[in-house]
Amino acid sequence: INAEYMGMHGRIAQMAVLGFVAPGFGTFPGNDWSDSFGYTNPLEALSKAPSASLFQIFAFMAFMEFRRMYIILEDGPDYVVGNAQRWGQIEGNWNPFGFNYTPEEYEEKQLQELKHCRVAMIGLLGLIFQANASGVGVVEQLGGAFVAPEYYERAGYFLPQGI
């Protein structure tokens, strides 16, 4: 059951990481009743978002959690760990891409997903701490690494040729 919880929270963390990175590449225009769409720092945007939008997010997460509990109770002792949303390759599940792995390959894919979930949960904590400390979004923080520093522009290239 530990893998069940890690997978569930890890998928939410993966979406949250995407939510931290995506605003740096473009945001939606604001509207009259809320300017929360214009912020690239997700923590700042969260504090500016209308309470109804936050309710939608938490209501959807609660719905998915209750759905997961219902499926676990419905399947009883026949429940397969990780099959709480009935997605994937198991017979009767939703498999939109028609994946057809061998049992060994499917087990490897499940392990890969679990590892990605763990990395996303740790990465999300880092993103939250860094956004809180710096006050800017992820892309703005990384953007400074790809520009020439101001002192370099003033001094020019001062190393001898060939080095």
Q: What would the pLDDT profile of 22-69 be if each residue is shown by its tens digit?
A: 888 877 766 666 666 677 788 888 888 888 888 998 999 899 889 888
Q: What would the pLDDT profile of 7-18 be if each residue is shown by its tens digit?
A: 888 888 999 999
For the ranges 92-96, 111-115, 127-131, the lowest mean pLDDT is seen at: 92-96
User: What is residue 90's predicted lDDT score, i.e. its pLDDT?
Assistant: 78
Query: Number of helices and strands (H, E) in the chain?
Result: 6, 0
Give the C-alpha separation, 60 to 153, whole Å.
Answer: 50
CB atoms within 10 A of CB 96: 6
Highest mean pLDDT among 99-108, 116-125, 131-140: 116-125
For the ranges 44-58, 94-108, 147-161, the lowest mean pLDDT is seen at: 147-161
Query: By the 8 A CB rule, do 20 and 42 touch?
Result: yes
User: What is residue 85's predicted lDDT score, i.e. its pLDDT?
Assistant: 75
φ, ψ dihedrals at 135, nearest 5°: 80, 5
Give the C-alpha separation, 72 to 152, whole Å.
Answer: 61
The predicted model scores a pTM of 0.74
Q: How big is the CA angle at 54 (ends 53 and 59), to the nearest 5 degrees?
A: 100
